[in-house]
Chain A
Amino acid sequence: MSEHHITPLKTYLIIAASLLFLSGVTVWVSYIDLGSFNIVLAMFVATVKASLVAFFFMHLLWDDKKNLTMFLMSLMFFGIFVTITMLDTGFRGDLGLNPETKDPINKRAAFYDTLPLTDTHGHPVDEHSDEHHEDKDHH
Chain B
Amino acid sequence: MGHHNPDSPSHLKHYFHDVNQQYETSKFAMWAFILTEVLTFAGLFVAYIVYRSWYPDMFVDAHKLLDVNKGLMNTIVLITSSLTMALAIWAIQKNNKKLSVVMLVATFIFALVFLGIKYLEYTHKFEVGQLPGEFYSYMGPDAAHLNNPHIFFSIYFIMTGLHGLHVAIGMGLIAWLIYSTQKGNLTSEYYTPMEMIGIFWHLVDLIWIYLFPLFYLIG
Q: Which residues of A contact B (CB under 8 A)?
A: 1-4, 6-7, 9, 12-13, 15-16, 19-20, 23, 26-27, 30, 33-36, 38-39, 42-43, 45-46, 49-50, 53-54, 56-58, 63-64, 66-67, 70-71, 73-75, 77-78, 81-82, 85-86, 89-90, 103, 105-106, 108-109, 111-112, 115-122, 131, 134-135
Contact = CB atoms under 8 A, between A and B. Distances in A.
Interface in B111-148: 127-130, 134, 137-142, 144, 147-148
A7 B189 CA distance: 16
A95 B43 CA distance: 28
Interface in B89-108: 90, 93-94
A1 B23 contact: yes
Given A20-B76, A78-B38, A122-B129, A45 B213 contact: yes
B36 to A, nearest CB: 8
In the complex, the 6 A-B pairs of residues with the closest C-beta atoms, listed nearest first: A122-B128, A30-B217, A74-B38, A74-B35, A16-B83, A42-B213
Contact of B42 (A12, A20, A81, A135): A81
Contact of B34 (A3, A45, A70, A108): A70
B199 A58 contact: yes
Contacts of B144: 117
Given A6-B93, A66-B28, A109-B148, A116 B202 contact: no
Nearest to B85: A57
Interface size class of B (residues with CB under 8 A): 35 or more
Interface stretch (B157-165, B168-176, B177-185, B203-211): B203-211
Contact of B213 (A46, A86, A135): A46
**Secondary structure of the A side of the interface?**
helix
Given A30-B213, A109-B150, A58 B83 contact: no
A112 B145 CA distance: 10
Contacts of B205: 53, 57
Contacts of B8: none
21 contacts: A1-B189, A6-B90, A7-B90, A12-B87, A16-B83, A27-B72, A38-B219, A53-B202, A57-B83, A58-B202, A66-B31, A71-B35, A74-B39, A78-B39, A78-B42, A82-B46, A118-B129, A120-B128, A121-B140, A122-B137, A122-B140
A110 to B, nearest CB: 10
A33 B137 CA distance: 30
